[in-house]
Amino acid sequence: MKFLKKLKKMHKSNKLYLAKYLPVEGEIKEGMKYILTKSLGLGAYKEGYIGTAAIDFTKEAQEDQGGKILKLFLCSRDIQVGDKVFEILADKSIGEEFEWTEEIHKHNHQFIEDGDVFKVIGEISPEATWVKEGDEFAEDEVDIYDVSHLPMSVCHIKCPTCKYFH
Ligand SMILES: [Zn+2]
């Protein structure tokens, strides 16, 4: 864990939930958003490149460049001692997951207030097509389902058009 000094304070938000792209394993197929985790030679895309897979994106290209699928996850700023959390680093990238302990809380609770740590609640439903990275939601705008055969909850979001959860 390395809490880096921030250059500028990010805006504070009262909303508990936010949408974030996180990398997951799996084969990248046409139309999927992805991130590269390896840099190749000159002129090639660099580590950290984010793109949308074209029809000619191959399994070989994915392997060579360490491509991972980016999926939208519902994340929460409500951090309790014992939660597994991620921190947002000064360069806006996401650090390694770690446990938010009593000791960390004592000295670093400001990071919760500043919105620089978050925990992952679950995947945002693919039917919530309007949701973008960075969108924020209040508690009454999300509906979280625990599905027994899935490792994570599925999160439905209140539709701004019809007001139902998709
Ligand atoms: Zn709708």
Torsion angles phi and psi, residue 61, rounded to 5: -60, -40
Tokens of 64: 């060579």
How many whole angstroms from 104 Cα to the centroid of ligand 1? 41
How many whole angstroms from 150 Cα to the centroid of ligand 1? 25
How many whole angstroms from 142 Cα to the centroid of ligand 1? 13
Cα–Cα distance between 97 and 111 in angstroms, integer? 15
Cα–Cα distance between 136 and 16 in angstroms, integer? 7
Q: List the pLDDT tens digit at each of the 166 positions of the chain.
A: 555 555 445 555 678 999 999 999 999 999 999 999 998 877 778 888 999 999 999 999 999 999 999 999 999 999 999 999 999 888 878 888 999 999 999 999 899 888 889 999 999 999 999 999 999 999 999 999 888 887 788 999 999 999 999 9
**Residue position matching structure tokens 């985790």:** 37
Torsion angles phi and psi, residue 136, rounded to 5: -120, 145
Residues less than 5 Å from ion ligand 1, measured at CB: 159, 161-162
How many whole angstroms from 164 Cα to the centroid of ligand 1? 6
How many whole angstroms from 137 Cα to the centroid of ligand 1? 16
3-state secondary structure of 14: coil
Cα–Cα distance between 74 and 60 in angstroms, integer? 31
* DSSP structure class, residue 11: P
How many whole angstroms from 165 Cα to the centroid of ligand 1? 7
